Amino acid sequence: MKSRSLSTLSLIIRHEARILVRDRTLPLVCCVLALMVGYGLFVGLAQATLRDRMVAQVAKHEQETQRANTGTLQSVLAGKSALVPFSNPANPAALAGTLAGRFATIPNAPLAALAIGQSDMMPNYYRISYLSKVQFMYDTEIENPWNLLSGHFDLAFVIVFVLPLLVTTLGYNLLSAEREHGTLRMLCSQPLSVPTLLTGKIVVRMLALLAIAIPLPLIVVLLIRPETRGVEQLLLMLSWSALITAYTLFWFAVAALVNATGLSSSANALIMVALWTTFVLILPVTMNLVVGLVSPAPSRTELASRTRVATAESLREFESLYSADYRYASDPEALLVKGERIEVPSRMRAFFLAKQRVDEKIEPLLERFDRQLLQQQRLVDRLSLLSPAILVNEALNSIAGTDSRRFVAFKDQTEAFHNKWRQYFSPRILESRAMTAQDLSSLPQWHWIEIPASETSWSIWWRTALMLALAFMVGGAALARSSRSNRIAV
Amino acid sequence: MLDAIAVTKQFGAKRALDNVSLNVLPGEIYCLLGANGAGKTTLVNLFLNFLQPTSGSLQIGMIDVVRHPLETKRLLAYIPEQVTLYGVLSGLENLAFFSSLAIGERLPRPRLLELLEAAGLPRQAADDRVATYSKGMRQKVGIAIALAKNAKALLLDEPTSGLDPSAANEFSELLVKASNDGVAVLTTTHDLFHAKQTGTRLGIMKHGRLVEELRSEDVSHADLEALYLKHMKS
Amino acid sequence: MFAIIAAKDMRELARDGRLLWAGGLILVLLLVALAAGWNRQVQLNNERSAGQALDYDAWLHQGYRHPHDAAEQGMHVFKPEPPLGVFDPGIGPFVGSTVWLQAHRQSEVKFRPAQDATGLQRFGELSPAWLLQVLVPLLIIVIGFNSMSGERERGTLRQLLSLGVPARSLLLGKAAALASCAGVLIAPVGVGFAAFLVARLPAGERLDVVYRISWLAAGYGLYLGLFVFLTLAVSALVRSSRAALVILLGFWVAATLIAPRTASEAVNLLYPTPSRLAFDDHLSHDIAGAASKAWAAHFGARTQWDPSLPLSKWGAALKVDDAAGYGALDENFGGLWDTFERQQRAQEWVGLVAPVVALRGFSMGLAGTDFSQHRDFSTAAETQRRKIQDIVSEDLIKHADPLGNAHFTYKAGPELWASVPPFKYQLPSVSFALAHHWGSLALLAVLFCLSVALAHYALSRPLMR
């Protein structure tokens, strides 16, 4: 009995494939999908390459500055070059500030090309110096705001937005077309159950779509980006494939359920588009609104006011240093390294101290922003249960390493590094210790610590599992409904 | 072979079939006559399990239709008024698909051609797309499907309506041939002449009830017409 | 004649579940979007006007201080939210509204709200403009796809034509019915909100906002009208309702969702945006070049700290340095912003196939939330910064430079702070927006006429085939 229904299923599959190829629906839809996947991937690769290049450029910058500083230091110590207060690397305040040339960078995750996510908006490097956090942490990548508003045409867009539409194109009239055409009566007069018919039809369509959507990007990425060939990356690719399969299955299950109601093709198409609009367009924008209302970000205006107050206070606090006599222009000899000491001009010392004080004062407020963002993210995680589109989008971004979480981690690590940078220089500036060549080569180094893989993979797999469960629930309901109602044929 | 036992079918407030019982034996051709809306097609749909009876039961070869839909459909062949097939496939491909669905194995091409020929489809049309076929030609593919299935029971819904007289005659001959092979045939029709000609038994339905059952050899054409009109008028 | 047809169609639509459900949903979303937008705007405006006042007050009362340090503390200026930002927030979430005016460097607008939001922001913002641009056309398609094909399928078209109904009346009647259905949803809310908005504004701003609203109404009218006639045309041209629906939905998806993204990717290839690193490097390089040239010209010195340039010339040096930088800043930022505007103008051509692109630019422009008006604000803020800088340098030359090495002991007082005027920014008027966006409106008008012509052609062909 089992083998009989299996052979029926395979017959249906072969038959459907032939029909879909003959009437050119399948080749057309597959071509459209292949084009879009290709274009989306191209855009993703271009963005990832751009970011790679930026990180490389920043690293080069850093090395050049390092080399220039070492060179200047040597010639200064040898008394060869003129002394300029702001660009003498022996002066710790100068090296902590304008001469620093230090960067905190976040490298692309290996699969970055698969989704652009937040990476077009969040900076992937910060310039580290003794400046206050408010002065450098809010720099953003340069991008036309119009383009940010439109969004990118990346692979994640193709999957989250377009793939369900192609599923709809292939699946809105699974049964209704056969009924309207009259062939359903013929089919149902044979020993064939409607669930088998429905399953067969879905299997063909799904295989065709997935045969393009999954291998195409993975092969291209594997070929072009060698860093994707690790075990960990292959596991991520596996979860990526599972996620897309689950999402596609979900939409096919919805199409099956809609078809099982026995309405006309036009009605089915309307219902499918209504569902797509709800899940993919309306729910996410409404959720965005809800998140903003339930867990609003603290006021940036308030931050600006607090910053001003803090700056004013610290200016006042170090007033005497700021207004000290300044004889270095006329007496450059005063800036010579004497033994292990160097005179740090009091105004420079004042800058350093004042910025440090500003940060101390606004730190609690900045923490509130970070906390709020994390809280919002947690809310999004919960609300994403309402819309498969949000669920999948979040998971795709996590796989590509372009989600907010990774950028928040980057910001946190940068802040820590910024503090470390200051702490390194603080005693030297206060004690007027001159920087030596050895110091120059042992300055605090930036290391990006990747988010633990276990954390990422957990966040991906629970979403995939949920998506699959959802797909099976809807699909089960569709099959149960279609087997109960033979009236479908009438 | 085809048994309806006290079948009632209710659509909301409307009673489409009211306590109808009939049986069709192997080798019989049972013609159901009646006006539009008398319940003929409903009965056919019930045998196909497209509808379920409100009360009563239907059996094909002593197997209950509702409880074992797949088994009964294996015994059954159905030719609707409009045989609808996949337009982008050829007649042969359609036959290949439906016959493998029905019997679970793929018949070889020569056998398929043989079946189409037996159903009366011109050999050269077998590989044309069905979209180019006339109604009669599609009907023939339908018959070929039934033949391939080697069905024990044949259900026909207005099979000759819209066919030209010669095609209708050809069709009737095929029916007679099938019944001679021991197939039970149930057909609905408006065509008293053909019913009398080919049917072995006749039933007249009205408002969901089977009001008259008679053997075709017992009545003349004229008597049948008079009887039919009498029922239609009252 | 056409009124009879319109009345009949409207009755049919009213009895159909589609209008009720889809329209109801859109109406609810519209109200939610307006309420949320209004709430956000009131809150932001209060915060900003309070922040701005406090900030200037703090500037005035900062006590005695070296003017250069005062410029270091600087001043914050806040971009006022245009009243119609409630309707269309435009690029608002992706540009900030706060500028910290400090010495030495052109400050950029900071704190993009989108940075304080989650990835969900990227799905879009629930705004009335988004609803009108994306969902209302879908509604028109959903209720209108079978308005002609359905008549044909039911056989009622045969009836109508046999009665001698002219094609023009049929077209106008059907269009009127579809348009009124959309209008019934939007108009009461729109008019009500417009009245509310205008009434709450100070009298001086009212006229400008009324003009803006009228132009917006014209733009959206053309856009939605385009969809009405396109729907009718396809419905009449295509064989079945099903085919009409599939074609129209395909167009909707391609035109409202796919085209805008494709367009923005394409123009990025055409006019590439520089990376921040490249931009910053270029800017620093230009400023340094301009400054050293200026020092050489004014003081014969190579660098700012040249021994030949004693502290007694520090104020003068600062003035020269800043003035030299202005040119480089203008050039670099101007170049970047020109790139953005070129990108946008190039995209507007995509409006020929995807009207939403043309409408979006027009809508933002008239709502006052587009890039050109953002640029206007940024320029005004930069002007204010330079004003502060110039006043400070002048004062340094006058009072601090004579002090020699004790330059930094000089402290200016309230009179100097008061000589910096408060930052007053006037939102550009409607004519500014129109000058930037008349092209989009013309494009929409042309597209509208084309769709009317197409519908007319579709209905004047022999309808029974």
Most C CBs within 10 Å, among A41, A308, A352, to test the C interface:
A308
C47 lies in which domain range?
2-460
Residue B210 pLDDT exceeds 80: yes
Measured between beta carbons, the chain A residues lying within 8 angstroms of C275 are 50, 54, 141-142
Q: Please state the ipTM of this predicted complex.
A: 0.86
| Rg of chain B taking only CA atoms, in angstroms | 18
B197 lies in which domain range?
2-84+151-233
Residues A184 and A175 sit within 8 Å (Cβ to Cβ): yes
Most C CBs within 10 Å, among A99, A301, A381, to test the C interface:
A301
| Residue C316: band (very low, low, confident or very high) from pLDDT cuts 50, 70, 90 | confident
Is residue B194 in a domain? yes
Cβ neighbors of C12 (< 8 A, separation 6 or more) are none
What is the predicted pLDDT for the residue at A180?
85
Number of H helices, E strands in chain A: 21, 2
Distance (Å) of CA B225 to CA A79, A439, B199: 131, 118, 15
What would the pLDDT profile of A331-350 be if each residue is shown by its tens digit?
667 777 777 788 778 888 88
Q: Which amino acid is at C32?
A: V
Dihedral over alpha carbons A251, A257, A263, A266 (to 10 degrees): 0
Is residue C115 in a domain? yes
What would the pLDDT profile of B132-151 be if each residue is shown by its tens digit?
998 888 888 988 988 888 88
Nearest-CB residue to A189 (from B52, B73, B93): B73
For chain B, give the mean pLDDT.
Answer: 87
What is the predicted pLDDT for the residue at A332?
67
Closest to A354 in 3D by CA, of A306, A319, A304? A319
Is residue B185 in a domain? yes
Question: What's the whole-number mean pLDDT along residues C75-86?
Answer: 86
What is the predicted pLDDT for the residue at C444?
93
Burial of B142 (0-12, 13-18, 19+ CB in 10 A): buried
Instruction: DSSP letter for C412, please.
Output: B
What is the predicted pLDDT for the residue at C441?
92
DSSP one-letter string for C20-50 = IIIIHHHHHHHHHHHHHHHHHHHHHHHHHHH
Residues A216 and A237 sit within 8 Å (Cβ to Cβ): no
What is the predicted pLDDT for the residue at A353?
87
Residue of C nearest to A169 (CA): C246
Is residue C465 in a domain? no
Residues C83 and C197 sit within 8 Å (Cβ to Cβ): yes
User: How many angstroms separate the CA atoms of C255 and C351, rounded?
Assistant: 9
Number of domains in chain B: 1
Nearest-CB residue to B50 (from A19, A181, A490): A490
Between chain C and chain B, are at least 3 CB pairs below 8 A?
no
What is the predicted pLDDT for the residue at A81?
63
What is the predicted pLDDT for the residue at A91?
84
What would the pLDDT profile of C359-387 be if each residue is shown by its tens digit?
999 999 999 998 899 899 989 988 888 88
Within its chain, how far is the Cα of B199 from the centroid? Answer: 12
Tell me the three state secondary structure of residue C224: helix
What is the predicted pLDDT for the residue at A181?
85
**A16 CA: distance to closest CA in chain B (Å):** 10
Residues with pLDDT less than 50, chain A: none
User: How many angstroms separate the CA atoms of B135 and B84, rounded?
Assistant: 9
Max avg pLDDT among A7-11, A237-241, B210-214, C100-104: A237-241
Tell me the three state secondary structure of residue C348: helix
User: How many angstroms separate the CA atoms of A254 and A275, rounded?
Assistant: 9
Most B CBs within 10 Å, among A7, A22, A186, A486, to test the B interface:
A186
What is the predicted pLDDT for the residue at A85?
63
Nearest-CB residue to A193 (from B70, B74, B76): B70
**A324 CA: distance to closest CA in chain C (Å):** 6
Residue C307 pLDDT exceeds 70: no
User: How many angstroms separate the CA atoms of C346 and C343, rounded?
Assistant: 5
| Residue C295: band (very low, low, confident or very high) from pLDDT cuts 50, 70, 90 | confident
Closest to A116 in 3D by CA, of A463, A448, A403, A464? A403
User: How many angstroms separate the CA atoms of C186 and C197, rounded?
Assistant: 16
Nearest-CB residue to A301 (from C48, C63, C279): C48
